[in-house]
Structures are given as C-alpha cells and as structure tokens.
Amino acid sequence: MEAYKIWVRRNKDYVYSLESLANGLTWLLPERFSESEIGPEAVTAILGMLTAVNDHIIDTTPTPTQVQTGSAEPSSFPYSLCITLLKDLETLIEVTAQHFYGDDKKWNFIAATEAMKSLVRLALFRNSGYKMLLHGGERPNVEKGSEALNSQNGFGHLAKPGLQQGPGNLKNYHEKNPWNLEGRAMFALSRFGENARMASEPTWLHRVQHQQALVEPPFSVAERPTLSTILAERGLRGSLFMLGEVMFITRPLIYVLLIRKYGIRSWFPWCISLAIDLAGVGILSHVTMLGQSREGQQLHLSELEKNELRRRKLLWALYLMRDPFFDKYTRKKLQSAERLLEPVPVIGILTSKIMELIIGAQTRYTYMSGS
C-alpha cells in the first residue's frame, strides 16, 4: 500500500488524466440505464471509488515538516473519503436493489444509504467544530491566509467590530491608529515596559530561554468548540446557524423516507424536501447577512462558505428533474425541444443522445438527489 501511495503522489498528473478518461467513457457503456444491467454501474462505482482513494492519497501528501517530525500520516478518521465512497456506491446499491427487490422495496436500501451518509456528515460536522460542510463534507473546510487568522473556533467567527482577539493584537490596534492619543500613550508604555524588562534580565536567562525554545518550539493548540460553548457564546444566531446546517444534512434522508411512505409520484415528498432546502439556506443566509446582534457580535463566513451557499442554491434546479414535477412539466418541454431540433443535421442526432442520457439519469434517484 505504501508503494502505491508513493507512485500516485509522484504521478498525480498521469493519474488525473487516466481517471478523467475512464470516467468519461463510462457514459458510453451499452445499456447504461437498463433496469436489469448492473455491470455498467458496478464499473462506474469501482472507478469512482478508485478516483476517491487516489485523490485522498494526493490530498494527504505529507509536507516536509511532517516528514521531519515523523507525523506524515493523518491520524483523524477520513470522513470526507467515507462520504465520497458512499456516494460512489449508492447508485450501484439502487440498481441492485431495484433488480432483485423491485421498485417499491428499493427505497429501503436507498434510505439506509442516506442514513449512513447523514450519520457520517453529522459526525464530521461535530468533529470539525461545527463548521459548514463543503460539498456535503467531501471537501475539508480549511481556511487559508488571512481567513485562518480571522476564524477563531467553529463556524465563521464572532468578534466585536474594531477589536481583535489574542495576545499582541492590542499593540497592533494602537499601531494602526497613530492619531489616537490614548493609543499612542499605551503603545509607548508597552514599548517602555518591554525594553525595561529586557534590560533587567540577566544574560544567562536569555541563553536558557533560547535553548529552551530550540528544544521545545512554541506551538498553539486550537481548542475544538463544543455544542454547549457554541450555544453559550453565539446565542440564538449560533443556534439558528447549526439548525440550518443540520437541515441540509438530514434533508435527503427525510425526502427518501417520505417517498418510501407516499410514493415517488406524490407531491408531498417533493414539496417537503423543497421547503426544507429553502428554509435551511434561508436561515443560513439570514444569520450571516444580518448586521450586528444585541451583543455586538457578527457571524462571518469565509469565501469557501459563501461559495458553498451559492452551490446549494444552484442545487434547487434539480427539483425540475425530480418526479412528479419532471413527469408533469419538464419532460414535455424537453420532448418539444427534441422534436424541434430533430430535422437539423448532426444537431438532431446529438439532441436525441442527450435526451436519452437525461431521461435515463432521471430514472435514478441518486443522480438527481443532490446529496
């Protein structure tokens, strides 16, 4: 396994090219959307899982510092990889269940798959300090640059305007406000105190401190916030933020359970799922775009989290491809467009093939689930 990891990390461009080619060719497999054909979906699932494992190996490539300290491999559970593998398997599970148990009982297996994904995502949500999940947890919510300095613990950060937290920030605040008389006075006293302390310390103490710094380099331990601390520090807005994220995580499971009870042709699961999506994103948008709260605190999102909110809104378009809306409205529009373009050379053939793929994909819940 170690030899394979080394090979993948050294030839990642070659690996990416092979994976893209193989995944593209799977759409051309014969009987891709046949009700009784499990082979093509098995091939697709295996390729997808192999791609996920290779991406995980590349993403966890140890840095030179980790190699020197001996902490080359991450010790935490690979939640993101687990979610990706479940997503690669879910279509194969759906096709197999449909083949052996029928259209009605297949929803039991789909619900079990969605339940496992929800549990893993909830565990990742808790383990990450209640940060927003990116792409359903498949991508780590790791901030870089100045965003990492601004983000304290958990999702976003709450800070009073104009005041930064942490040691040394008071000094920086006064340095950046030179026209503030109080600030200049405090900065001068601080500098005087530092110089006096350095002058009064004996030379041997400086040598001991220098040797201790070499033996034990300074490090900072980021304490992971708990549910109680988040609720205590962030109040109602923090609770609403977590509620919106939990709604996003559990929405697919609720949708499948309702389909299992009322059927795929019922409007009730479709409407409830859409309502949960709208409410969840609405809550997240409300608590983050709102101004300052009563405590003078504001919830900030990183650029990655803002992009994630936009992505979730784009996923609403999938409701046009889900029954019963698709069967009642979307299918008729697509068939009209196909009849209009059918006489056109080349374009008519391409349109017919695209329509075949779209209608075939629509018959699979997992292709239109958005989860």
pTM reported for the whole predicted model? 0.72
Q: Which two tokens stand for residue 71?
A: 């902490």
pLDDT in tens, the chain (371 residues): 777 777 677 666 767 677 677 666 666 655 555 555 787 778 778 888 888 887 878 877 776 665 555 555 555 788 998 999 999 899 899 999 998 999 899 999 999 999 999 999 999 999 988 889 999 998 888 765 544 444 444 444 443 334 444 444 444 444 444 444 445 555 555 555 555 454 444 554 455 454 554 444 444 445 666 666 666 666 677 788 889 999 999 999 999 999 999 999 999 999 999 999 999 999 988 887 764 444 445 567 788 988 999 999 999 999 999 999 999 999 999 999 889 988 888 898 898 888 888 888 888 899 999 88
Q: Which two tokens stand for residue 75?
A: 């010790």
Q: Which two tokens stand for residue 168?
A: 């040394």
Q: Which helix (H) or strand (E) holds 139?
A: none
Q: What angle do CA 361, 362, 365 make, to 5 degrees?
A: 95
Q: Which two tokens stand for residue 283?
A: 């809550």
Report d(CA 260, CA 273) in Å as an integer.
13
Maximal CA-CA distance, the chain: 93
User: Nearest Cα to 286, choosing from 249, 239, 222, 333?
Assistant: 239
Inter-residue contact 298 to 158 (CB < 8 Å): yes
User: Nearest Cα to 80, choosing from 15, 135, 154, 5?
Assistant: 135
Q: Are strands 158-159 and 298-299 parallel, antiparallel or unpaired?
A: antiparallel
Report d(CA 248, CA 246) in Å as an integer.
5
Extended beta strands in 175-269, E state: none
Report d(CA 291, CA 310) in Å as an integer.
20
Report d(CA 257, CA 135) in Å as an integer.
22
Per-position b or e across 41-78, b if 16+ CB within 10 A of its CB: beebbebbbbbbbbbbbeeeeeeeeeeeeeeeeeeeeb
